[in-house]
Structure 1
Amino acid sequence: MFTFTLFNVGHGFCAYATTPGGLALLFDCGYDDGLQFYPSRYFSDRKIETMYGLALSHFDQDHVAILPALRKVVSFSTVARNRSIPVDFIRRQKESNGGITTAMASALDMHEHWIHPVTVQPNYGGVKVTYFHNQYPAFTDMNNLSLVTFLEYNGCGIVIPGDLEREGWLELMKQPAFCQCLKETNFFIASHHGRNAGYAEEVFSYCKPHIVLLSDKSIVHDSQEHDYSKHATGIVWSNGQTRRVLTTRCDGHIRLTKEAGRPTSVAIGVKL
């Protein structure tokens, strides 16, 4: 069984996937004090001490906020990120924009030192994991250097695009393999918490999602207003309502569950 849980961490991002092969993956590690949900505590309480992979989609505070606490309770075998970005480039950017937080220092430490190649291919039990990113210095804005992850299992396809913006989408779409992954995606996580800057209509020439997922809190940016619902076919709930967009703000923790040969189950307001 494949599960994908999008945690409600306010204006941040954190998602957790378990695979039929027994390997688990974590995507970013944001949290929100107001919600009193901390991924590090979630895994500690459940005695989850090892995971195969951590994917850092974006070197921004809301994607790495609880990394120091997380590293104290969980050990990772691999760290996926955009390795084309020089550590010193990120460091200079952060120092010129308010300084380097403890969490960002931890992320930079992993980026600098986790450099050994994977020698044994992981067994995800049939889950296909594919990463893409734009190259530095072709791009020098951090959003468009986001790591984009695609997960696909038995017809359940998910994209995790970080904070990728329109220019970054269009550049990656020059790759046929990227467009093929979009075609296999039916659960689309909106980039950049649903802000307009992360929207590229051209993506939906390839991607025809059942539903769009947003990790967000109450709208705090005027640009956080794009209507993604027109791109989703929708899922009919048990009460007869068709939902095309789910948000952590309104729906809490969201979990997708996929068993081979069965439809993907979507649960909202998941109690953890």
Structure 2
Amino acid sequence: MTDVQVYIWNVERGDAILIKGPEENVVVDLGQHSNGFSPTEQMQSHGVSDVGFLLISHPDEDHIKDIPNFLDEYSGFTFRRPKKARPYIEHRKENLYPNKESYQEISEAYLEIDSWSGDVPVSPSDSDRNAGLKFNSYNLHPDDLGIKPADELDDDEDVNLNNLSFLTVMEYNGFKLLTMGDLEDGAIEQLLEKSYVRRAISGTDILVAPHHGRQSSYTSELFEEISPDIVAISDAAGVDSSASSQYSDQTSGKIVEKRDGNYKTRYSITTRNDGVLYFGIDDDGSYKTIID
């Protein structure tokens, strides 16, 4: 019996993941396709009437673009995000994009739900209410990364928020999926220095490639700790994810089913070529993979 279903939507250069849990649903990031495809609208059309948890890896636009739609449909969820990102979003909203209507709408929605959570680091793992489906997230402080404080930025100055991203492990009965937002290689290596992070990611079955498979986020040190079956890459068509072959070389391979009924061993799968990526996890931790 498939207890947990994971959908990685095709939102081009962004991330949007739905995890349908045994008791509650979890959403990780809310990107949106340039053709107007909305993960929220897709969830509504497929009868997803409630979401228990929303995790935002980091608030770059390609990870939060669908938040206004999400807030129109869902409420009462637990929200987890990097706490220290808020002042940088306020800075972008007020100083960098004051006349960009779309960014104003997106950032206002993000800041609204950010304000609900205060500084309490809540997580689905804080509760046993989802029948053993667990999420553990880890990230670095801006001081660890040498990021300039937001209140010291010039009006026209911006900073890279990629390395504030959460490294998140989804675990269910021995199965593990690892996603890392847009973490780049140096930040990943910093996190791997922590023994509790290494323990958390050990035994990873599926890796969602950080930063859409970009070379800047590939580090061989990660694969000293994990040996995934397959790598999933969320990226746009026609964009070179230059480390995709390197990721494939680090996986053992997984038999993948196409919706037309054909099967093939794959080492990496991508939203740009394979459409929606689906993983169905059974109650014994085994899983199947289906692509378009």
Q: What value does the CA root-mean-square deviation take over the aligned residues?
A: 2.1
- The residue aligned with 1:108 is 111
Query: Mapping of 1:141-180 within 5 angstroms?
Result: 141-180=160-199
Q: TM-score, normalised by structure 1?
A: 0.89
Deviates more, 1:87-96 or 1:76-85: 87-96
Residue 78 of structure 1 and its aligned partner are, at CA, apart by: 0.8
- The residue aligned with 1:259 is 282
Residue 154 of structure 1 and its aligned partner are, at CA, apart by: 2.0
- Taking only the aligned residue pairs, the percentage that are identical comes to 25
Residue 155 of structure 1 and its aligned partner are, at CA, apart by: 2.6
Q: Residues of 1 paired with 2:221 and 2:211: CA distance?
A: 17
Q: Residues of 2 paired with 1:105 and 1:197: CA distance?
A: 30
Query: Which structure carries more helix by proportion?
Result: 2
Contact 1:164 1:191 in 2 (8 A): yes
- The residue aligned with 2:151 is none
Q: Residues of 1 paired with 2:278 and 2:256: CA distance?
A: 14
Residue 94 of structure 1 and its aligned partner are, at CA, apart by: 5.2
Q: Residues of 2 paired with 1:46 and 1:267: CA distance?
A: 17
Query: Mapping of 1:178-217 within 5 angstroms?
Result: 178-217=197-236
Contact 2:237 2:273 in 1 (8 A): no
Contact 1:156 1:185 in 2 (8 A): yes
- The residue aligned with 2:131 is 125
Q: Residues of 1 paired with 2:104 and 2:267: CA distance?
A: 37
- The residue aligned with 1:53 is 53
Residue 110 of structure 1 and its aligned partner are, at CA, apart by: 1.8
Structure 1 runs not aligned, ≥5 long: none
Residue 33 of structure 1 and its aligned partner are, at CA, apart by: 3.3
Paired AA for residue 165 in structure 1: E
2:272 is the alignment partner of 1:249 = yes
Query: Mapping of 1:40-79 within 5 angstroms?
Result: 40-79=40-79
Note the alpha carbon deviations across 1:194-242, whole angstroms, 9 max, x for none: 1111111100001100000000112436xx3112110000013465632
Paired AA for residue 90 in structure 1: I
Q: Residues of 2 paired with 1:207 and 1:91: CA distance?
A: 37
Q: Secondary structure at the match of 2:84?
A: coil
Q: 1:240 to 1:46 in 2, by over 3 A?
A: closer
Moved over 6 A (4+): none
Residue 112 of structure 1 and its aligned partner are, at CA, apart by: 2.9
Contact 1:53 1:77 in 2 (8 A): yes
- The residue aligned with 2:90 is 91
Deviates more, 1:253-262 or 1:141-150: 253-262
Paired AA for residue 48 in structure 2: I
Residue 14 of structure 1 and its aligned partner are, at CA, apart by: 0.3
Length, aligned pairs only: 264
Residue 18 of structure 1 and its aligned partner are, at CA, apart by: 1.6
2:45 is the alignment partner of 1:28 = no
